[in-house]
């Protein structure tokens, strides 16, 4: 009978990972610098004294909003609430995301998998909430408070509809709602793995061909070695030469509610090689377990997301069509969504 120790973490967090996995080149999460606009101090503008301008502002009801709207200033700290982070289907097998002394029987597999998925989704939402709370300029609704509100809004383990997102924002008083999908956890879907492997092989085969004069033996040896190492790393993870590889890919989306409603930011990130620094936070006897390695990757990914978006997350101005302006971002991993 399978029993999971209560003090064993179940899921992992991430390091933004590698496009070509021969061994472990990290994909560095892109960071985009925030633009700061400076305003020049002038004493006179077309001969109108400053006092006259202030009087006009007062008479018109304030320079920032002539209509008297209660909208928050665009550069004011915003309130953020983190909604569900859901693991997408097809689900991995329990043995791909958790280490067992004895593999669960087919009869127990659905029960165990349901428990593992629930714990993963809860942990992912909590980690992201805590990572955002560490960032400056954001007011983040606490995790426990959000969970209580979600219990009355949507069934556990389901993505939120537009109406449910609005309800969560209304109850929490948040300006922005962030939700997420875990595309891959413990293994990468074959479309993604094949596309990445083909691109990787094409580049390195060309390099080896040029340097060896297109020696068939050298190219063949490389292809065999690459396939035998890449497959276990991408499809289920592996430990190679003391390095742990546990693929985790997450998609996050931020919906602005205040001023004008709409998606203002979305991004995909992938982590494969487990970061040693994050893994070192766990007891030595736990570090070889799949669930610990995956949770280390998940934590690292959520930290990268939080550090990337926090400096840019301000209320976006409304466009002529009524939607908010979007926050510029790009991730190579988002391209692979077209394969699904």
Mean pLDDT of 28-50: 36
Residue 70 has pLDDT above 80, yes or no: no
Q: With b meaning 16 or more CB within 10 Å and e meaning fewer, what string describes 22-52?
A: eebeebebeeeeeeeeeeeeeeeeeeeeeee
Question: Residue 187: which H helix or E strand, with range?
Answer: none
Write the pLDDT tens digit of every residue in 85-105.
999 988 889 999 999 999 999
Mean pLDDT of 283-293: 94
Write the pLDDT tens digit of every residue in 156-170.
999 999 999 999 999
300: left (phi over 0), alpha (psi -120 to 50) or beta: alpha
Question: What gap in Å lies between CA 231 and CA 248, rounded to an integer?
Answer: 15
Write the pLDDT tens digit of every residue in 188-237.
765 565 666 677 678 888 888 889 989 988 888 888 777 766 666 665 56
pLDDT band at 18, cuts 50/70/90?
very low
The domains of the chain, with CATH numbers, are 72-188+236-339 (3.40.50.10610)
Mean pLDDT of 252-261: 95
- CB 275 within 8 Å of CB 300: yes
Give the dihedral sign, CA 165/169/175/178. negative
């Amino acid at each position: 009978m399978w029993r999971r120790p209560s003090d064993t973490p179940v899921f992992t967090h991430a390091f933004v990972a590698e496009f070509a996995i021969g061994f472990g080149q990290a994909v560095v999460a892109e960071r985009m610098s925030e633009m700061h606009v400076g305003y020049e101090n002038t004493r006179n503008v077309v001969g109108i004294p400053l006092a006259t301008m202030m009087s006009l502002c007062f008479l018109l009801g304030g320079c920032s909003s002539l209509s008297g709207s209660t909208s928050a200033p665009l550069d004011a700290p915003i309130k953020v609430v983190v909604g569900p982070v859901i693991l997408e289907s097809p689900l991995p097998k329990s043995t791909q995301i958790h280490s067992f002394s004895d593999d669960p029987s087919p009869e127990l597999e659905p029960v165990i998998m349901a428990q593992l998925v629930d714990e993963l989704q809860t942990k992912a939402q909590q980690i992201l909430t805590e990572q955002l709370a560490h960032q400056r300029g954001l007011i983040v609704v606490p995790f426990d408070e959000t969970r209580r509100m979600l219990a009355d809004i949507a069934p556990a383990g389901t993505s939120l509809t537009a109406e449910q997102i609005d309800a969560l924002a209304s109850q929490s008083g948040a300006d922005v709602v962030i939700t997420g999908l875990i595309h891959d956890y413990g293994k990468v879907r074959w479309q993604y793995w094949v596309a990445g492997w083909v691109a990787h092989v094409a580049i390195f085969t060309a390099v080896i061909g040029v340097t060896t004069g297109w020696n068939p033996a050298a190219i063949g040896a490389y292809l065999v070695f690459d396939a035998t190492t890449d497959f276990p790393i991408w499809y289920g993870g592996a430990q190679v030469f003391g390095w742990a590889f546990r693929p985790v890919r997450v998609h996050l989306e931020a919906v602005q509610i205040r001023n004008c409603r709409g998606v203002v930011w979305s991004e995909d990130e992938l982590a494969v090689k487990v970061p040693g620094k994050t893994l070192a936070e766990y007891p030595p006897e736990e570090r070889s377990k799949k669930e610990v390695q995956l949770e280390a990757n998940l934590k690292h990914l959520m930290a990268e997301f939080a550090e990337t978006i926090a400096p840019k997350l301000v209320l976006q101005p409304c466009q002529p069509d009524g939607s908010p302006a979007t926050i510029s971002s790009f991730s190579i991993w988002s391209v692979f969504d077209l394969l699904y």
